[in-house]
A and B are shown apart, each in its own frame.
Chain A
């Protein structure tokens, strides 16, 4: 098993200048794509409407910097970004960065609580299904998880609103948790359904994979009990692909928050983005999308590290 003295050089290898440099290159690409998120045609004309006179459209173009050539615009966008300036909302004239700062905690709480629930329950269900493979417990778990994968988050959200919010009246179906923790329950569970299902499936198939390996058979042949082999040997090794899955699905989860926040009126960055989309307030859309992508890139960097620490094969390489 790895000691901490081995982990440090390992981390240095994972977060090598080369790796960090490449991440920076990817982030530059992300920023350039984000820059192009704007309504088609002349954004100034789109924002002011068809009846606006050409003088005010021209003024708007100058205000947005649209009168300059595109490469110059990108350069200005990038340099402003480095200074922490994401532009101003067209609708409210408020700096986008302030909106993001204000909205991020709500999204973070929602995403973090969901991924915790999804991981814990997902591994539990997956292990249960593998433990009783090919029984009704297994097939029931797999059927439910197939549903969880197939039904989009916003539909699950609507069904939960209907069932738990309207019919049973167990939980409030719209609003933020500053009015009470019960407001977190429905959005959190809704968001967790999809990653939970995927984690359960990956855990199950990974467990079954490991249980078929030679060293597990050897352990059994040595006379170790099934439960001991299952939990001590198999489970530990089966969790590696689960870690990768959890981090990979964090992306889907972040996109999911957008729809969940919209349905449950949860004041995070997703709700800010969707409100901005309705008004074509593109600096806000750019800011939210960029933030999500950056979080995702950084999460992946750490996921790689986690994976390397957990997997001896990667560690040796």
Chain B
């Protein structure tokens, strides 16, 4: 059994699964968008144009960029209704109709093209006049980061404890399984909430709370796999050859448990995204002004009861649903591709 060949077979089978490939494509697009966020978004995620708050999708508003003495690269954005150039000054009316005059030297850049703009707010703005599209893309960064970090933590704890229990058995297995059963007694989302209360609000606290809440299934599956692998001849052979426990675990047992663990981690990734959004929604989790989908849904929620500005809730909800569906589709295909039982059919 050549390891590479096995993965190649799995990939070939995965490629035939249409849903799984769609999921993978969506995920790749999302990852690229998250990485390229500063390039593809027109604004800084935290920049507020209060005059343009709560605007519908597709809104365009004229703005003037004023020099920011403290930071050249982040100009002050003025919302204007209309403006005229008069000698060396710009006369403008703000959206409320108040007239203002500003000297051209105080504006960003040298030409009108540089200091004035009429940007498109693709998905509208939130109640602070921040661009929804920009925040949605930056929120994607948070969601993907949460998934990666929390699942890394979960994998680390789950694999270590699962391996120890499955390999050494005996009292160690009893103790670890007791811990697994205790943690498993709490619904995952509730455990995440509980750990967030213990750890406090914030970026890293949220990642850790989700990570230490989601290792149980991984530990269980690793242990189970070890139980079945342990009795097979090639593991007996490692014992006969006098290999140490660590070498046997890492080189010979874990690779054979990799399939189900990867499938679980993919599902856990989706759960982590939901958990982060749920935490932010109830005010725990990643704190403002960091753009997070759950936070955005919470911000927009108040408008739903009023029956206006549904986009503020719907867009981040859809973004999250798309991400989770993509992960689930990909994970389903992965499970079928990595499951040796289905290959015989």
Contacts and interface: CB of A to CB of B under 8 A. Distances in A.
B324 interface: yes
A147 B187 contact: no
A293 B278 CA distance: 19
A277 B192 CA distance: 13
A26 B304 contact: no
B113 to A, nearest CB: 41
B324 A150 contact: yes
Given A29-B178, A30-B182, A280-B197, A254 B320 contact: no
Contact of A289 (B183, B190, B284): B190
Given A26-B181, A40-B200, A147-B325, A292 B320 contact: no
B321 A151 contact: yes
B202 to A, nearest CB: 10
A39 B201 CA distance: 10
Interface in B164-196: 178-179, 181-183, 185-190, 193-194
Contacts of B179: 29
Interface in B297-332: 297, 301, 304-305, 307, 310, 313-314, 317, 320-321, 324-325, 328-329
Contacts of B58: none
A274 interface: yes
A259 B194 contact: no
A152 interface: yes
A36 B301 CA distance: 32
B190 A297 contact: no
Interface stretch (A73-81, A94-102, A155-163): A155-163
B198 interface: yes
A151 B190 CA distance: 17
Contacts, number: 124
A285 interface: yes
A53 interface: no
Contact of A258 (B182, B183, B189, B297): B189
B200 A254 contact: no
A154 interface: yes
B301 A158 contact: yes
Interface residues of B, number: 40
Nearest to A212: B345
Given A259-B278, A280-B197, A297-B185, A155 B320 contact: yes
Contacts of A26: 178, 181-182, 185
A166 interface: yes
A147 B321 contact: yes
A39 B197 contact: yes
Interface string A55-75: 000000000000000000000
B338 interface: no
Contacts of B85: none
A154 B187 contact: no
B274 A166 contact: no
A150 B198 contact: no
Interface in A248-285: 251-252, 254-256, 258-259, 262, 273-274, 277-278, 280, 282, 285
A100 to B, nearest CB: 15
A296 interface: yes
B182 A29 contact: yes
Contact of A255 (B187, B197, B198, B277): B187
Interface in A233-260: 251-252, 254-256, 258-259
Contact of B297 (A150, A158, A297): A158
A144 to B, nearest CB: 12
Contacts of B314: 159, 162
A224 interface: no
A162 B197 contact: no
- A-B pairs, top 5 by smallest CB distance, nearest first, are A29-B182, A255-B187, A255-B189, A150-B324, A150-B325
Given A150-B321, A293-B185, 4 more contacts: A29-B182, A39-B197, A150-B324, A152-B324
8 contacts: A37-B198, A40-B198, A155-B317, A155-B321, A277-B193, A277-B284, A278-B283, A289-B190
